[in-house]
Amino acid sequence: MKDLLQNDYISHFGLTGKYIVPCTSMQGNFALSDDKACQMCIEDDRQHCSNDGEQEIMKINANESINAIDIEQFLTLFDGRRAGIKNRCDKLLYNGIKIAFVEMYCGLSRNLYPPYYQKVGKIAKARLQIESTIQKLCEVPSIAQRIDGTSQKHGILAYRERHSPQGQESVPQPDKVQQNMEVFWNSDFQGNNLHTNLSHGFKFFVLKYPNEYKW
């Protein structure tokens, strides 16, 4: 997948020059973090992670080597051009048997489903970001062939709950919205429960920290 992005993706959109695909290989037990979310806490002089300061949003257990591409960083290189997209997810994980697109979020649980004063919650937005990324990459025939030829495909919103700063009250919500949120929390947020599909055979689900994603 890295070579397809570095060569075929670039040539498909008529780009010239050399573009680096940020990719690392990992195996065993490891975790991913979101630099943007962690930087917000640092700038606000708040530490919402555990006492040891670990900046983790998604725990992964992989018995085999997998590759992690910072797909957001890669696609950012093409902002304002045909190869770029506005809505993009954070990570692309893959090996010979599985592909996963990941959007990471560290924030308040009330933002997962849209409260009464917003139209879109983070779950819907993450699904849009992942779907948009899949669709854009699959504009390249060789990448679409690679994706369609893979049997295990997941789209994941990896989520870590960040508690409100001390003294800050949650925004009141109507009883019905709160009840719906609690029902969703009790069902779909316990582990890796699949609840909707994406294009090209991807299954979308929400993974709440510290639940582990087993590759």
Closest CA to 125 of 92, 154, 153, 157: 157
pTM over 0.85? The answer is: no
Task: Classify residue 148 as exposed, middle or buried by CB count within 10 Å of its CB (0-12, 13-18, 19+).
Answer: exposed
Question: Pick the residue with more confidence: 171 or 210?
Answer: 210
Poorest-pLDDT segment among 45-49, 63-67, 88-92, 210-214 = 45-49
pLDDT of residue 107: 85
Question: Domain residues of the chain, as ranges?
Answer: 2-164+173-214
| Rounded mean pLDDT, 144-158 | 97
Cis previous bond, 165, omega within 30: no
> What 3-state class would DSSP assign to 144?
helix
Q: How many CB atoms lie within 10 A of CB 202?
A: 21
C-alpha pair distances (Å), 99 with each of 67, 77, 155: 10, 22, 9
Lowest mean pLDDT among 54-68, 108-122, 175-189, 201-215: 175-189
Segment 28-85, tens digit of pLDDT? 999 999 877 666 666 555 555 554 456 799 999 999 999 999 999 999 999 999 999 9
